[in-house]
Structure 1
Amino acid sequence: MACASFFPEEEERPFVDREEFIQAFYNALETIKEKEAKILVYHGIAGIGKTRLRREISKIIEKYNDSNRNFRIYNESNSNFHILCATVDFETEEFRQSDKFLEILRDQFQGEYGIKFHTFDFAHALYWKKVNPRITLCKENDSEDNIFTHLLDIGDDLSNIGGIFNPVNVSIKMAKLIKRLPDSYREWELKNRDKISRLIHMEAAEIKRQLYLYWAYDLREYLQKNSESAVIFIDSYEALWGNDRSLASLSSKDEWLRKEIQTLLSSSCLWILCGQESPRWAEDSNTEKAIWGNSIERHEIKGLPEEHARNLLKHSDVLENNIQTAIISGSEGVPYYLDLSIDLYRIELMPKSFKML
């Protein structure tokens, strides 16, 4: 005899009373259509529905890109406007480091949309080679995805890597690898020889500090070339601080994130930050205000009004008026606690408890 699960099957409940925040997203899209950047901040207490809002916005983008039914935005040539999308959740501690943050975004944009981050990949591989000169960076077979690590592994002298795409006076193994390079690498090398040369002569620490500039350069080049825009979600923003809430850390913990977002302020990029707290950007000094201008738009998410909370409970078959009232009062309209109450009600714990109220 099969045992019934104590926990009810997970279901996605209606998304209600968030029209204001969805409309803010649509308005922001109109802004980035004009080749500007925008930062939307959705903040509120834990369980208030920030992550659910982020997922709903992602669905809107997905539906738009798939069928173009939800809304239509045109660029200057009146062709369909494509929206790229990526997400990083700082709940994962590893993602709170600048270089890992950039790698995650690179992997998503590259895997989903085929964007090549040649400059960032070269800078990142070069940094690791300078830090670990005696360690082989890549142990797998030659492939396009790790071409720079192979070239740096093969090269005996980093000072001579500037001509990596010119198969003259190089080893047989490197010449063989260069011969197999796609045209996109050759085009990139011709366009960026000065950057490559400067990178090669930089110290490892300096390369690491500037990795975000090379990542932003690659993304900006792609967006401009293809007349597209990007939406980047950052969830659990407050997790950047961990348990360190000292005054000294308030403006230092997210300094690297500020710089990376500022680098793309003149591009068609929409950043959406979700967290329990709103960033203090543009509040610390007049210089900060001048940098950010009107690009930051803040929205506080609060509990559901009673009408919407009752509709949610009715949709979930919580029909007793006294139980609805007790749940709404106890949850204060916070979606997480409403969902938890519904789950408990369905396993027949709540009806018995609330009949006593």
Structure 2
Amino acid sequence: MPIRPQYRRVSALQREFFDREGLLAAYGEELRAIGGGPRILNVVGVGGIGKSRLLQELRNRTPDSHRTARLDLQLPTMRQQEDALAVLRMEFGAQGVRFDRFDIAYAVLWQRVHPQLQMNRRNTPFAEESDVLSKILDDAMGLPVFGTAAGLVRLTGRAIKNRQRRQLIQADPTLHELDDLSNAELGHAVSYLFAEELRSSASERPYVVYVDAYEALVPAPLPGGRNFVADAWLRDLLGQLHGGLTVLASREPLRWAVYDEEWAAVIRRADLDGLPMSARLDLLAQAGITEIPRQRSIAEASAGVPFYLHLAVDTHLQNPGRSGHAGTSEEIVQRFLQHVAADEVRILELLSTARTFDLHVFQAVGRAFDLPANLLTWESLTAYSFAYPLSDGWYRLHQLMIGALQRHLSPAVRRRVHRELRLHWEALARDMEGGDRRTASTARISPLREAVYHGLHGGDITADDIPRHADRAVALNGRQAVDGIVEDLRAYLAVPVVPAGGDDHPPAELRDAADCLEAESKLELGDTAGAIALTPSLDRPVRTLVGARLALAGANARRIAGESSLAATIFERVWTEHAGEARAAAGSCVADLRMWQGDFQGAFALADEVHGLCTAEDAVVRGDVKRLMHLGHRFLMDFESSARLLAEAEAEYREAEAVVGLANVRTNWAELWAFTSPGDAVAEAAAALAVQRDLGAQHEIGKAYTAMAMAQTRMGEYERAASSFDSAEAALERAGYRSGRARAAMFRAFLLWRRGDREGAGRLLVHAAREFEECQVYPSLILAIHRAADMIGVSAPELATAADRARPAVRPPGGLAALQHRTDAVLSAFLEGAG
């Protein structure tokens, strides 16, 4: 923290006031509502948010028809009852309020506390300000009164000429009781008489009392609200201030209703939040910081806290060449933690490494470092206003505290905290995977994402660990958890942190891990171009898990885009060279591509081999293999076997709770039933669309629309079928799914034929066959297209040539003749009903 005088802070109070319209309106409403009972406007906000500046502004804007006085509890002397009352008495007295009875009672209290002092003008408080006391002391001729209230009251008979004032004092029962009261009771009586005098004055002019920095009086708030002795005198005083308004600024809201429910009707809470961006920029501009980039940087870093902005302005004024927010973090954290106990500060420093925390995180950190981890400490910490409550018992610290608190920790301690937190999140993830969802709160937080985050910063997670965690995170929290892991990786790589005692993670490996997870996510969304952009080079080593999965993602993107030969080369390389966890997935991809290229026998044999390699944990891969075989049998028009294999795939996905796999199965059922049960296919396609839209998977949306259009074509709903084909084309175009578009074009040709457009049908069939050839997929469909052209009487030599090229590549179980027989039956179902 820079060495400089604290007096410079005063300058912030002289700067222009910005925003706070909501608080000003609330204050105006409270002023108009002043009545017989006490009223308290409780302004609540974190340290530095501008509460003191707001109180000053409220006082400046108060009409002259109201008296005002301010009590600043940041000054230690103001936290004592007698000193606070003296300040208020002086301020209101200067505005014409007479405190005859209070001054006498206060003199009694003063002598009770200072019996060694003689009561005279020099020693007695308010002797010069109070005409009652001054005349009494003059008549006493400097002799000690020995502290008796009765003696002081008797002296008023000679000292005060005004009969009404004299009778009011001499008849007051409270003054006559003062000598018999204990010291504590005497203090209560003094507060009572002060409030009585102020209440009497309110009939001619209402009043406002401003109380600043309540947290200085009560530095350790309890969540139940009970602070016992610390603020008892203040509650007693404010509860008696009838006919006026108290504006009390505090970091935590007043919870006085626990003492008496009537407080709930007296106190109005008004939260003071961060300044909006426009007000931040205006404040900086008015203070002389006019460069737009610098303004924006400071404004964003401030999180809307005016104290931060004023620190930046002071830094700029003292040294314009320095960064506008350099050197402010330590002053900020001191401001936030000004009234926090030392042991609580230590655990807050440790908790600053956790992005969010609950009781269990707090206890894990506390136990690891032998700090208090009991429920009382937890309730105290979470009662502070800088601990922002989220939902379900979770909290986060104020943005401006986190970095500054972490700088209080040595690198070795930071690393230790991250490691302890990783262990905590790993344990929570295992409990959740075992079915122990101990609270609903974990639904909003991915424990495996947090484990990766702390593993990165603790230096004890490898690049290959990251996709393993991501796979588990999908099952627990969905795909958004993986997106979060990628975001954390990108942020870590942008500003790498070197863990204490060890080297940083190799950036290239972590970058590959981030690219791998992001490319896989884009593939699931059907963003082929995005996945290709993340994998510009496919010649990287594939022996590591990250290397293999990144290569597979890039190859799959190329396959979807129509680059089947390149994809096949990569699939084969991973299948051959990788010996780890990704080998089964690579084998599934190889089998998949062999099937699309017509080698059904080879694809099924490899699929069986891959299935045998799968372990108990590979339920998703087993589901993928079963679904691959289902697709193969569907393209072979063996719908009975296709349905059986799809049901087996669905069972595997359910065991693994694979959301994406189950969603894709719904699309596959719609595609299958388009051939066997058109009515069911339309309903299932609609259900698949709802699921795939939630996931955002454009390629699957396109396939579902294609299935719907195929079924509608067979049902004679030609207008609906045409609309569904349009929707399918749009989605498949967005996904860059070239072969999917060609398949939709093939079936759209049948719709055109049914509607009497033979020429249009022929053009689409030729286009589809050409696309399949260029993508090097679906030779069996090229044969089907050629056969369909013959059935509808379209003469296209190009199709005959394409069929001749495709025929040698098709190797179906049972031979080509059986496949052609089944194909004719399916084509007849689609082509019947032509106009």
**After TM superposition, is the score higher than 0.5?**
yes
Residues 101 and 278 of structure 1, relative CA distance in 2, 3 Å threshold: same
Matched, 1:305 2:276: yes
Q: In the alignment, what sits opposite 1:171?
A: none
User: Residue 127 of structure 1: which of 109, 117, 129 is its match?
Assistant: 109
Q: Whose helix fraction is larger, Structure 1's or Structure 2's? A: 2
Structure showing greater radius of gyration is 2
Q: Displacement of 1:13 after TM fit?
A: 2.8
Tell me the distance in 2 between the aligned counterparts of 1:102 and 1:292. 22
Residues 160 and 55 of structure 1, relative CA distance in 2, 3 Å threshold: closer
- 1:258-297 mapped onto 2 (5 Å cutoff): 258-264=235-241, 267-282=242-257, 284=258, 288-289=260-261, 291-297=262-268
- 1:1-357 mapped onto 2 (5 Å cutoff): 10=11, 12-32=14-34, 34-61=35-62, 64-65=63-64, 82-111=65-94, 113-133=95-115, 135-140=117-122, 144=131, 146-147=133-134, 151=140, 153-155=143-145, 158=148, 161=151, 162-166=153-157, 178-179=158-159, 185-192=165-172, 194-224=173-203, 226=204, 228-242=205-219, 250-264=227-241, 267-282=242-257, 284=258, 288-289=260-261, 291-346=262-317, 347-350=319-322
Q: Gaps (5+ residues) in structure 1?
A: 1-6, 66-81, 167-177
Tell me the distance in 1 between the aligned counterparts of 2:171 and 2:39. 29
One-letter identity of the residue aligned with 2:231: D
Tell me the distance in 1 between the aligned counterparts of 2:21 and 2:185. 45
Q: Displacement of 1:155 after TM fit?
A: 4.2
Tell me the distance in 2 between the aligned counterparts of 1:311 and 1:294. 37
1:212-255 CA distance string (max 9 Å, x none): 1111111112223x2x211000001100035x667897343112
Q: Displacement of 1:20 after TM fit?
A: 0.4
Instruction: Report SS of the residue matched to 2:202.
Output: helix
Tell me the distance in 1 between the aligned counterparts of 2:70 and 2:245. 12
Give the conservation status (yes or no) of the 8 Å contact 1:83–1:229.
yes
- Which stretch of the first structure deviates more once superposed, 14-23 or 292-301? 292-301
Tell me the distance in 2 between the aligned counterparts of 1:35 and 1:22. 23
Tell me the distance in 2 between the aligned counterparts of 1:306 and 1:198. 59
Instruction: Report SS of the residue matched to 1:210.
Output: helix
Residues 110 and 352 of structure 1, relative CA distance in 2, 3 Å threshold: closer
Q: Displacement of 1:57 after TM fit?
A: 0.8
Give the conservation status (yes or no) of the 8 Å contact 1:341–1:350.
no
Residues 14 and 196 of structure 1, relative CA distance in 2, 3 Å threshold: closer
Give the conservation status (yes or no) of the 8 Å contact 2:112–2:147.
no
1:325-352 CA distance string (max 9 Å, x none): 2101221121111122123233313369
Residues 313 and 139 of structure 1, relative CA distance in 2, 3 Å threshold: closer
Tell me the distance in 2 between the aligned counterparts of 1:157 and 1:256. 23
Tell me the distance in 2 between the aligned counterparts of 1:122 and 1:352. 55
Give the conservation status (yes or no) of the 8 Å contact 2:298–2:324.
no
One-letter identity of the residue aligned with 2:295: Q
Give the conservation status (yes or no) of the 8 Å contact 1:125–1:149.
no
Which fold has the larger relative contact order, with Cα–Cα distance below 8 Å and residues 6 or more apart in sequence?
1
Instruction: Report SS of the residue matched to 1:350.
Output: coil
1:285-333 CA distance string (max 9 Å, x none): 5xx11x2242211111111111221222233332322212210122112
TM-score by length of 2: 0.34
- Which stretch of the first structure deviates more once superposed, 306-315 or 334-343? 306-315
Tell me the distance in 2 between the aligned counterparts of 1:128 and 1:8. 35
TM-score by length of 1: 0.75
Number of equivalences = 309
Instruction: Report SS of the residue matched to 1:297.
Output: strand
Q: Displacement of 1:23 after TM fit?
A: 0.5
Tell me the distance in 2 between the aligned counterparts of 1:136 and 1:213. 26
Give the conservation status (yes or no) of the 8 Å contact 2:298–2:325.
no
Q: Displacement of 1:99 after TM fit?
A: 1.5
Tell me the distance in 1 between the aligned counterparts of 2:93 and 2:122. 20
Tell me the distance in 2 between the aligned counterparts of 1:304 and 1:209. 41
Tell me the distance in 1 between the aligned counterparts of 2:9 and 2:190. 46
Tell me the distance in 2 between the aligned counterparts of 1:253 and 1:159. 28
Tell me the distance in 1 between the aligned counterparts of 2:248 and 2:209. 8
Q: Displacement of 1:128 after TM fit?
A: 3.3
Instruction: Report SS of the residue matched to 1:233.
Output: strand
Q: Displacement of 1:131 after TM fit?
A: 5.0
**CA-atom RMSD, angstroms?**
3.3
Give the conservation status (yes or no) of the 8 Å contact 1:159–1:201.
no
Residues 9 and 198 of structure 1, relative CA distance in 2, 3 Å threshold: closer
Tell me the distance in 2 between the aligned counterparts of 1:56 and 1:341. 22
- Which stretch of the first structure deviates more once superposed, 252-261 or 89-98? 252-261
Tell me the distance in 1 between the aligned counterparts of 2:9 and 2:178. 56
Identity of aligned residues (%): 26
One-letter identity of the residue aligned with 1:135: L
Residues 165 and 336 of structure 1, relative CA distance in 2, 3 Å threshold: closer
Give the conservation status (yes or no) of the 8 Å contact 1:43–1:278.
yes
Residues 295 and 139 of structure 1, relative CA distance in 2, 3 Å threshold: closer
